[in-house]
Amino acid sequence: MTVDIDRWVDRDLGLIARELQPAFEVDDLVAQAEEVLRAAGNRTPVLVGANGVGKTAIIHELVRRAHDGRGVPLLRQARVLQFSMRAISARFKEKSDGANFFGELVSAILASPDPIVPFFKDIHLAYMLDWEPSLHRLLSSLPHGALGEGLPRELEQLVDYWSDLSEHLVPIPVEEPPTDKVRAIVARWCDHQHARGRNFRPEAQRGAIELTARFMGDRPFPRKVLELLRQTADFTPAEDGETRPVTLRDVVRRFGQLTRVPERLVDPDHQLDLAEVHDFVAHRLLGQDEAVDAVVRMIALMKAGLADLRRPFGTFLFVGPTGVGKTFCAQLLAEYLFGDAHRLLRLNLADYGEAYHVAVLFGDPHGHSPNDQRGLLTRRLAGNPFGVLLLDEFEKANPRVHDGFLQLIDEGRFINGMGEP
């Protein structure tokens, strides 16, 4: 089979180098990657960090600088092609078919008459997909380095399993920036947007940082705040045919639209009336004063920004016989927080009483399809980070399933079988 490389390319970064968005406050990381590419041998810098810390943006900055004449000449002289291992694997139902195809793609890259520097997003997935032999063949045969980005723990698994890859992959850690650097990134990004006709008030910048820090603790900076500002600008209406500056009010409104969290909970100018909250719950959930007080306390902590950002805003274990209002209390919580009692993901854990069910819920690393590897919970939660997760009949689940959910409760996240957080 002859593979048409261009059909599988996400982006030809060289062709769009002038259009790539600059990355800010990353000079040290860019310098490290350039040093690896300039060194003797065919070493590959791999940006390693959580999703959202800016790994891909740094690679794009490498290419952008090269085409400005400030970076590594190789990235200007060769075709820098961006591939997504996740997107490629998703086209194949069977893991073996994907592995065979990736081998053909590697052969096509090596046979290309034009020099190619492949950039692999999610390079760590080679371990999950059984692509290690072909990846090693590519990296050991190229006369120069490639580019990559991936998740830390999963990349370590890849190198541990296929140790020869350590001769070619050079991990460069990318940490979530601290608050002062986030402010600098946002300020410089907004200055760049100003040159393109988009203006952001200082209070809008500060508000976006605070909102995403408080309510998106499961996602790292800087992507989450830049994405909120970008979307807010896209949805800010013009006045008299001219674009007006983005205000804090615009940011709060757009955040509420994206998350479907009522503005009264996220708007710093809106005072929460705890008596009103108490009445909302107590007048519907009768005779359950302790449960009502617990729910009201959680909402108050959430509004005040005192909840642990890395964990669920609240975890409740409602205990009692059938018919006393356990499920109804969860529905009331969803209705108040998100304006919809159906904003609730319900799993009956009585259906997960066997040990193997932990792989069904949280994903099987050895599953035959991406859906099997991701697991039911990831698929059900995808695109719905804000909501109420109701685990019905929790006591009937297998102890291993309990352990999986206890990790989710304690850490606010889990790693599925595909390596996704």
Which DSSP string corresponds to 147-173?
Answer: EEEE-HHHHHHHHHHSGGGGGTEEEEE
Strands 147-150 and 169-173: unpaired
> What pLDDT score does 78 carry?
97
Give CA–CA dist 278/373, Å, rounded: 42
Give CA–CA dist 210/212, Å, rounded: 6
Beta bridge partners of 121: 84
Give CA–CA dist 102/138, Å, rounded: 10
Query: SS3 of 77, please?
Result: helix
Give CA–CA dist 248/210, Å, rounded: 11
Q: Would you say 149 and 121 are in contact if contact means Cβ atoms under 8 Å apart?
A: yes
> What pLDDT score does 1 carry?
62
For residue 225, what are its two tokens?
């705040």
* Phi (first) and psi of residue 161, to 5 degrees: -75, -40
Stretches in the chain below the pLDDT threshold 50: none
Domains 5-173 and 274-411 share a fold: yes
> What pLDDT score does 309 carry?
65
Contacts of 204 (CB under 8 A, 6+ apart): 229, 232, 245, 246, 247, 248, 250, 251
Could you tell me which CATH class the domain 5-173 is placed in? alpha beta
What is the CATH number assigned to the segment(s) 179-266? 1.10.8.60
User: How do the domains of the chain map onto residue ranges?
Assistant: 5-173, 179-266, 274-411
Give CA–CA dist 35/104, Å, rounded: 31
For 340, half-sphere exposure in the C-beta direction (CA atoms, 13 angstrom radius) is: 10
Contacts of 298 (CB under 8 A, 6+ apart): 307, 313, 314, 316
Tell me, yes or no, if the pTM score tops 0.85.
Answer: no
Which alpha helices (H) appear in 283-369, and where do they start and end? 289-304, 326-338, 357-362
Amino acid 24 reads F
Beta bridge partners of 259: none
For residue 282, what are its two tokens?
């107590």
Contacts of 201 (CB under 8 A, 6+ apart): 245, 246, 247, 248
> What pLDDT score does 343 carry?
83
CA dihedral 374, 376, 381, 387 (to 10 degrees): -150
Give CA–CA dist 206/213, Å, rounded: 11
Q: Would you say 299 and 277 are in contact if contact means Cβ atoms under 8 Å apart?
A: yes
Sign of CA dihedral 307, 308, 312, 317: negative
What is the CATH number assigned to the segment(s) 274-411? 3.40.50.300
Of 336, 404, 347, the residue nearest 379 (C-alpha): 347
Q: Would you say 223 and 299 are in contact if contact means Cβ atoms under 8 Å apart?
A: no
> What pLDDT score does 369 carry?
82
